Amino acid sequence: MATLDEKKDVDTATDLTNDVVPSPSSSSVAEAVGIDEKSLLRKLDYRLLPPLTLLYLLSFLDRSNVGNAKLEGMTTDLGISGDQYLNGLTLYFVGYVLFEIPCNIILKKATPRAWLPTLTLIWGIVATLLGVVQNYSGYLASRFFLGVAESGLFPGVVYYISMWYKRNEQHYRVSLFFSAASLAGAFGGILAWGIAHMSGTGGYSGWRWIFILEGLVTVLASVIAYFWVYNYPSTAEFLSNEEREFIQFRLKHDSDAAQDESFTWSAVLDAFKDPKVWLYCAGFHTMSLPLYTLSLFLPTIIKELGYSSAQAQLLSVPPYAVAFVMTLTVAIASEKLRIRAPFIMGTSALACIGYILLLSDHEAGVSYLGTIFAAGGIYPSVAIVLSWPANNVSGQTKRCIANALQISVGNIGAVIGTQLYRTESSPRFFLGHGFALGYLIANIFVVGILWLVLRRENKAKAVEMEAKELRPFGGDVGDGDGEFLGDKDPRWVFQT
């Protein structure tokens, strides 16, 4: 059987249509070494994505179930006002923003199997303890440390996926992973409705059992994750030597994931100095406010339309179900067509329609339809925005920091959003809905600017490649013509 080294002369595709990085004929190499590439990808998906998706589902559930708990009397039992409740939501995101970059630095220095389950264990314990807080101070402290513990999961997983999959394969996987957020919203409403019936059990109110039971499930999942989360392709136990070698080969011909890059502070600085990284940050910043205000306040928004608490818990399910379907549908279309920006702008525009309905009509049915449009547009947009720097930023440390920086800066929008849905603005919540609509319109402009910048740089790279007679990647990152310069390299074509 031929080895991969003997197949390095396999012809590589050089089609630069639509500014997409071409890839080598890895299928020819796979056939030569007796590997079914599609089956191998399915194997990676089955092994890697379920634990990551479960952890993120629990993460989103544990951060957003406070909205369900509020409907079940949490603020009354703790004796806190509406504004004090909002302060706890804000502190969560303060902790989240402050610790995302440090967490990803630790991930780069440590391993996913050690770090990601440890984060899960810590936030699971904190989430459980939310169920036994007795006063305002305990509520604030628990929300802050929940944000600290959860801060490393999403940017860590986005970086982790970039170390396993080729660039055009990453977006769909990130979207599958992120779809857990919409599932968490759907399950959250159903679970809260069911768990609320435990009110009085053990002398605890129903809202306390929401935190306790869902937090304990997270603790259990973290223990399992120590055995379920794998590290990187070079050490993953479920791969054969031939599969491991082929994965390294296909990554080497597509991105920097197969390179042996050590951590350097200069690479960290490169991320901060790149204007495109800040545009990715602005892209998520303009989505995080509508994303988190919707996930945190949806039960309250629906209740204020005239429904009971129990009805509001159950009616929060359909918007998230639509969001789940839309996230996967848009991800598949984006991967097939190999475009990002038009899908972000299109789904953000769909969300704008939702908020226009919420702002313009006081009829309960019309406003409820607005929540469905809003959720159906927000979640697919966020999935693409968050996967974009993972596709386009190189090398490894710079990408690791860019992923974390994007979410840190982005979640400043969430910090702002947690103060917008005040009790005195109910039932129409003009301030919150108005801010969300404004942010979505800003997102369309930011993404449009980034789209133009990336296309302009791709054209400049094409001219430089032609002048220097260089091969594009899908030539070979590892063995290409000259030293690889990361995303500054003229052969590195940005995905738009």
Is 281 within the bounds of a domain?
A: yes
- Helix (H, G, I), strand (E, B), or coil: what is residue 475? strand
Residue 341 covered by a domain: yes
49-84 pLDDT per residue, tens: 999 999 999 998 898 899 889 988 999 999 999 899
On whether residue 206 sits in a domain, the answer given is yes
Residues 371, 298 contacting (CB under 8 angstroms): yes
Q: Range of 399's domain?
A: 46-230+267-488
Give the DSSP per-residue string, 204-224: --HHHHHHHHHHHHHHHHHHH
Residue from 441, 480, 227, 236 nearest 345 by CA: 441
- Domain with 124 in it: what CATH number? 1.20.1250.20
pLDDT at 155: 85
Has residue 444 been placed in a domain? yes
Residue 227: phi and psi, rounded to 5, are: -105, -10
CB atoms under 10 Å from CB of 123, counted, come to 28
Residue linked to tokens 């009397």: 73
Q: Are 131 and 217 in contact (CB under 8 A)?
A: no
List per-residue pLDDT tens for the chain, 496 residues long: 444 544 443 333 333 333 433 444 555 555 546 678 889 999 999 999 999 999 999 998 898 899 889 988 999 999 999 899 999 999 999 999 889 888 888 988 889 999 999 999 999 999 999 999 999 999 999 999 999 999 999 888 888 988 898 877 888 888 888 888 788 777 778 888 888 889 888 889 999 999 999 999 999 999 999 999 999 998 899 999 889 888 888 887 666 655 666 677 777 888 899 999 999 999 999 999 999 899 888 988 998 888 888 888 889 889 999 999 999 999 999 888 889 999 999 999 999 999 999 999 778 889 999 999 999 999 999 999 988 987 888 777 888 888 888 988 988 998 899 889 888 888 889 999 999 999 999 999 999 999 999 999 999 988 888 887 776 654 444 444 556 667 787 878 888 8
Element (H, E) at 342: helix 341-360
The closest of 397, 395, 107, 156 to 256, measured between CA atoms, is 395
- Please count the structural domains in the chain: 1
| DSSP annotation of 239 | S
Q: Please state whether 178 falls in left (phi above 0), alpha (psi between -120 and 50) or beta.
A: alpha
Q: How many CB atoms lie within 10 A of CB 356?
A: 15
Q: Write down the pLDDT at residue 30.
A: 56
Give every CB contact of residue 261 below 8 A, 6+ residues apart in sequence. Answer: 267, 395, 396, 397
Residue 362 confidence (pLDDT): 76
Contacts made by residues 28-33, CB under 8 angstroms, sequence distance 24+: 29/4, 29/246, 29/249, 29/250, 30/246, 32/1, 32/2, 32/7, 33/1, 33/2, 33/3, 33/4, 33/7, 33/242, 33/245, 33/246
CA distances from 402 to 142, 252, 477, 490 (A): 28, 21, 20, 20
Confidence (pLDDT) at 259: 62
**What does the pLDDT read at residue 398?**
86
DSSP letter assigned to residue 426: T
Tokens of 222: 């973290």
Whether 31 is covered by a domain: the verdict is no
* CB-facing half-sphere around the CA of 400: CA atoms within 13 A: 28
- Amino acid identity, residue 267? A
Model pLDDT, residue 11? 37
Helices and strands (H and E) in the chain: how many:
19, 0
Report yes or no: 436 and 466 within 8 Å, Cβ to Cβ: no
Confidence (pLDDT) at 256: 60
Kindly state whether residue 35 falls inside one of the protein's structural domains: no
Using DSSP's 3-state secondary structure scheme, residue 12 falls into strand
What is the 8-class DSSP label of residue 24?
B
**C-alpha closest to that of 395 among 162, 111, 115:** 162
What is the per-residue pLDDT for 493?
A: 84
Q: From its phi and psi, is residue 361 left (phi > 0), alpha (psi between -120 and 50) or beta?
A: beta
Residue 178 domain-assigned (yes or no): yes
Can you give the pLDDT at residue 271?
87
Query: Which residues, in sequence order, are bridge partners of residue 95?
Result: none
247-292 per-position pLDDT tens digit: 888 887 666 655 666 677 777 888 899 999 999 999 999 999 999 8
- Confirm whether 356 is domain-assigned: yes
